Amino acid sequence: MSMAGNLRKVTGLSRVGGLRKVARLARRRPRVDLSHPARSPLGSSVVNCVTYQDGVRVPQCTDLVDAVRMVRKTGEGFVWLGLHEPTDREFAGIAELFDLHPLAVEDAVEAHQRPKLEHYGDTLFAVFKTVCYVEHEKLTATSEVVNTGEIMVFVGKDFVITVRHGRHGSLGPLREELEAHPYQLSKGPAAVLHAIADHVVDDYLNVTDAVQADIDQVETEVFSENGARLDPGRIYQMKRELLELKRAVVPLGRPVEDLATRPIRVVAPEIQAYFRDVLDHLIRAKEQIAAFDELLNSILQAHLAQVTVAQNEDMRKITAWAAVIAVPTMVCGVYGMNFDHMPELHWRFGYPLVMVVMAGACLVLYRGFRRNGWL
């Protein structure tokens, strides 16, 4: 049975009585090679499972139990197991095989965790929030800009277990890139943890660059000639999406700082130097997000100020036209009182004179308001 095929049996058992029982159960089924980057066709959550020695994939080792036994017997190499959204039942056998802490297992299965770093004996448990930019033709008040997922990583002295949640953030290309650099992969499971952290943080920078383009577009439209007519819902939507990105990036600062500075049993000092580079990139992403947040606040305030100015401009125009119309209204109101003795009431040119006076008064008021910028 292949390593991934054996994993299907392991993940299907909620209680496993040690490696011998797992091995006996594995021998009952025909061997199927599922050590392929694609998802297991047997329907389990196993994406890939590979053994590495001196940074090189071991192709002939296709049985999980044998692989774990080999690396622990020789003290060389490690096993990298990749899972995608496993269930409690699927993960229970793996948890017992690698002696994972129940609290960490619960977090890995349930997902929706904050980025964090926890120690459970000789096992390190890290949670990373993955983000991706959602392409859209035009930003609207309901556009989705940022989509998030999660990657949980269990790191021991001879194994790495990655649990991915979400439709993006595949680690297949990362695995191929690491296999192309055996020297880095030969540094052990901590090198895989660094590669994942670096991959996640690089995605943060890519997303922030894409978000900046959207913010620049909104800013340009706000300060355009018709900026006051812009739907403010677009700005609020950008702030909501930026908050989603902020929740993924900001909490990761403390875990990465610990990986870069604090002594950790499964992370060699030479690997910590690489984590310091990741920390620098993460700080850059955090600073960009903070700047975006302040910029959006300024854009929103500027837009509200534009709306207020536009409303005042409309009120001034309405007031000016009301004053112009008030003159003929007053004159017509006076002559509509039906008194017998009124000035020029029976004069032939009385009506034209009144009309000329009203028109002249309206013209004088109109020119005065135009000169003062009210019309």
Check pLDDT > 80 for residue 347.
no
Check pLDDT > 70 for residue 234.
yes
Question: DSSP characters for 343-361?
Answer: TTSS-TTHHHHHHHHHHHH
Tokens found for residue 210 = 């894409």
CA neighbor of 5 nearest in space, from 48, 69, 58, 59: 48
- Please give the pLDDT value at position 184: 86
Tokens found for residue 76 = 């060389």
Amino acid symbol at 247? R
Question: For residue 371, what pLDDT band results from cuts at 50, 70 and 90?
Answer: confident
CATH class for the region spanning 308-372: mainly alpha
Mean pLDDT value across residues 124-146: 88
Mutual angle of helices 88-97 and 3-11, in 10-degree steps: 110
CA neighbor of 127 nearest in space, from 220, 267, 251, 9: 251
- Please give the pLDDT value at position 341: 63
CATH 3.30.460.20 fits 46-303, yes or no: yes
Q: Where are the beta strands (DSSP E) in the chain?
A: 46-53, 56-57, 78-84, 116-120, 123-133, 146-155, 159-165
Amino acid symbol at 331? V
**Quick check: 14 and 92 in contact, CB under 8 A?**
yes
Q: Where are the domains of the chain?
A: 46-303, 308-372
- Please give the pLDDT value at position 62: 58
Q: How far apart are CA 270 and CA 266, in angstroms?
A: 12
Residue 326, Cα to own-chain centre: how many angstroms? 58
**371 vs 262, more confident:** 262
Tokens found for residue 59 = 């192709």
- Please give the pLDDT value at position 235: 85
Instruction: Please enumerate in sequence order all residues whose Cβ is within 8 A of that of 317, keeping only pairs 6 or more positions apart, or say none.
Output: 374, 375
Question: For residue 34, what pLDDT band results from cuts at 50, 70 and 90?
Answer: very low
Place of tokens 């039906």: 338
Q: What is the pLDDT of residues 6-19, one digit of tens each?
A: 554 454 444 333 33
- Whole-angstrom CA distances from 1 to 14, 66, 71, 89, 275 are 20, 11, 19, 20, 38
147, with CB counted inside 10 A (0-12, 13-18, 19+), is middle
